[in-house]
């Protein structure tokens, strides 16, 4: 079968653990594109952290960012945005603010909003130290962006909604898994939010219709591509919906067990050019 649409996650899938995009994966994506396959980057990241990678890819691709809440065409024009409702946003922020030690930030199609730059850096440092992978380069990049980039805005979340802001997603980060589970259980009692994870140390909160799977379905319909001719590749629970929707769902070897249960195929780890491996398996 000739596939027509490929959606790939970024962190833990397309990128290696150092947050680098390998030449093998780049060549594989370019080959797929030139063979007639539409490529979509499908990530939990906001647009401003995706753009630096696009300069390494020599062809236009669609963008599904903010975990499915924002869809952009290859010209980066917004096709669809799904915001968390104001009522739910107030409740989510209140739940997260109950524990001062819990770091969280919010994003929309424009920016990322943080309570303080220092709190963000502390959270990033704890994550890098816990990972034990020694990837100081990615931490330094994040530190530079936090302090110098206009894409991060410091704001008082206590008055966030009343100030007229909207968010597509909120990410809470903690090494305390019991605390994350508690917050998750509280938010799951709300009807119109979707709670997922892109890592063991985080929770991601979105509108209940804002999933990678729904965004991939929307894109396929827009491009008039049949479901059975779509391929999705991912590594974590926030990728389950798009693997479930796709005609072929592929998990990387480093994926969660819950994601692998939904996969038609498992390929090598993200550190061994998983997207290249997947496309070779499909002869795409």
- Residue 219, H or E segment: helix 212-222
Residues 113 and 159: their CA atoms lie apart, in Å, by 13
Per-residue model confidence as pLDDT tens digits over 191-233:
999 999 988 889 999 999 999 999 999 999 999 999 999 999 9
pLDDT computed for residue 1 by the predictor: 65
Residue 267, strand partner residues? 252
Q: Quote the percentage of the chain above a pLDDT of 70.
A: 88
* Three-class secondary structure of residue 48 per DSSP: helix
Start and end residues for every CATH 3.40.50.1000 domain found in the chain: 5-82+210-281
Average pLDDT over residues 261-279: 98
| pLDDT tens per residue across span 14-28 | 999 999 999 999 999
Reported pTM? 0.89
Check: CATH 1.20.1530.20 for 5-82+210-281?
A: no
Mean pLDDT of the chain: 90
Average pLDDT over residues 179-183: 95
**Contacts of residue 179, Cβ cutoff 8 Å, sequence gap at least 6:** 99, 102
pLDDT tens, position by position, 45-103: 999 999 999 999 999 999 999 999 999 999 999 999 999 999 999 999 999 999 988 98
Residue 172 to residue 182: CA distance in whole angstroms: 12
Question: How sure is the predictor about 152, in pLDDT bands with cuts at 50, 70 and 90?
Answer: confident
Classify the phi-psi angles of 134: left when phi > 0, otherwise alpha if psi is within -120 to 50, otherwise beta.
left
Statement: residue 244 has pLDDT above 70: yes
pLDDT at 262 over 80: yes
Query: Within the chain, which residue ranges are assigned CATH 3.30.1240.10?
Result: 86-207
DSSP structure class, residue 21: B
> What band does 147 get if pLDDT is binned at 50, 70 and 90?
very low
CATH class belonging to 86-207: alpha beta
pLDDT (average), residues 264-277: 98
Supply the pLDDT for residue 272. 98
Of 284 and 257, more confident: 257
pLDDT at 134: 47
Question: Taking the mean position of all CA atoms in its chain, how far away is CA 190?
Answer: 22
């Amino acid at each position: 079968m000739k596939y027509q649409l490929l959606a790939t996650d970024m962190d833990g899938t397309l990128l290696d653990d150092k947050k680098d995009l390998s030449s093998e994966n780049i060549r594989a994506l370019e080959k797929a594109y030139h063979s007639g396959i539409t490529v979509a980057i499908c990530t939990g990241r906001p647009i401003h952290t995706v753009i630096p990678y696009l300069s390494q890819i020599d062809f236009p691709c669609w963008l599904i960012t903010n975990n499915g809440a924002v869809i952009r065409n290859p010209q980066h024009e917004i096709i669809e945005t799904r915001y968390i409702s104001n009522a739910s946003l107030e409740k989510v922020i209140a739940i997260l603010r109950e524990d001062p030690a819990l770091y969280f930030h919010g994003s929309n199609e424009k920016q990322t909003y943080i309570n303080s730059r220092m709190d963000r850096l502390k959270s990033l440092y704890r994550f890098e130290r816990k990972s034990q992978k020694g990837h100081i380069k990615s931490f330094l990049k994040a530190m530079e962006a936090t302090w110098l980039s206009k894409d991060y805005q410091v704001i008082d979340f206590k008055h966030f909604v009343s100030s007229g802001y909207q968010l597509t997603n909120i990410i809470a980060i903690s090494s305390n898994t019991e605390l994350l589970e508690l917050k998750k259980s509280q938010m799951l009692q709300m009807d119109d939010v979707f709670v997922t994870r892109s890592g063991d140390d985080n929770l991601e909160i979105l509108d209940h219709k804002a999933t990678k799977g729904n965004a991939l379905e929307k894109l396929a319909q827009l491009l008039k591509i049949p479901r059975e001719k779509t391929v999705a590749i991912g590594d974590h629970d926030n990728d389950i919906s798009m693997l479930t929707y796709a005609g072929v769902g592929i998990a990387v070897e480093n994926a969660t067990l819950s994601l692998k249960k939904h996969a038609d195929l498992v390929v090598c780890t993200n550190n061994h050019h998983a997207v290249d491996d997947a496309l070779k398996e499909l002869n795409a």
